[in-house]
Amino acid sequence: MKRVGIKDVAREAGVSASTVSYVLNRTPTETISPETQQRVMEAVNRLGYVPNLNARSLSSRRSNLIGVLIPQTEPGKELMFSNPFYGELLSSIEYTARQHGYHLLLSGTEEDQDYLGIARTRGVDGVIIVGTYPGANLNALKSLEVPIVLVDSYVKDEAFHTIGIEDKEGARMATRYLIENGHRSIAFVSGSIRENGVNIKRFQGYCSAMQEAGLAVEEDAVYSGTVDYEYGIAAAQEFLSRGRRQTAAFVTADVITMGLLRGLQQNHVRIPEDVSVVSFDDVYLSQMAYPALTTIHQDIAEKGKQAVQLVLNAARSREHHHTECILPLRLVVRDSVCKRRDEG
Q: Residue 162 is part of a domain; what is its CATH number?
A: 3.40.50.2300
pLDDT of residue 215: 97
Helix (H, G, I), strand (E, B) or coil at 139: helix
- Helices 300-317 & 84-99, crossing angle to 10 degrees? 40
Q: What is the mean pLDDT of residues 311-326?
A: 82
Beta bridge partners of 228: none
- Average pLDDT for 209-215: 97
Mean pLDDT, the chain, integer: 86
If one compares 297 and 132, the residue with the highest pLDDT of the two is 297
- How far is the CA of 97 from the CAs of 80, 94, 127, 306, 327, in angstroms? 18, 5, 12, 10, 20
**CA–CA distance, 288 with 101 (Å, rounded to integer):** 34
pLDDT band at 89 (very low <50, low <70, confident <90, very high): very high
pLDDT (mean) for 317-341 = 89
CA 89 to CA 94: how far, in whole Å? 9
155 and 256 assigned to the same domain: no
pLDDT of 119 above 70 = no
Domain count, the chain: 3
Give the model's pLDDT for residue 344: 42
Phi, psi of 161 (to 5 degrees): -85, 150
Q: Mean pLDDT over residues 94-111, rounded?
A: 83
The parent domain of residue 196 ranges over: 167-298
pLDDT at 109: 65
Which of 43-52, 172-181, 189-198, 275-284 shows the lowest per-residue confidence on average (mean pLDDT)? 43-52
Residue 47 confidence class, pLDDT cut points 50, 70, 90: confident
Query: Percentage of the chain surpassing pLDDT 90?
Result: 56
Most confident range (mean pLDDT) of 26-30, 121-125, 303-307 is: 303-307
- 253 near 295, Cβ under 8 Å? no
With respect to residue 60, please indicate whether it lies within any of the assigned structural domains: no
Query: Could you please report the per-residue DSSP string of 265-316?
Result: HHTT--TTTT-EEEEEE--GGGGTSSSPPEEEEE-HHHHHHHHHHHHHHHHH
Cα–Cα distance, 316 to 147 (Å, whole number): 10
User: Do residues 102 and 198 share a domain?
Assistant: no
pLDDT tier at 343, thresholds 50, 70, 90: very low
Residue 13 sits in a domain whose CATH number is: 1.10.260.40
pLDDT per residue as tens digits for the range 256-310:
999 999 999 999 999 999 999 999 999 999 999 999 999 999 999 999 999 999 9
Note whether 113 and 156 are same-domain residues. Answer: yes
Would you state the pLDDT for residue 212? 97
Query: Do 39 and 149 share a structural domain?
Result: no
Q: Does 179 map to a domain?
A: yes
User: Do 172 and 200 reside in the same domain of the chain?
Assistant: yes
Q: Does 59 map to a domain?
A: no
Give the global pTM: 0.79
- Residue 157 is predicted with a pLDDT of 85
pLDDT at 164 over 60: yes
pLDDT in tens, 138-158: 777 777 778 899 999 998 888
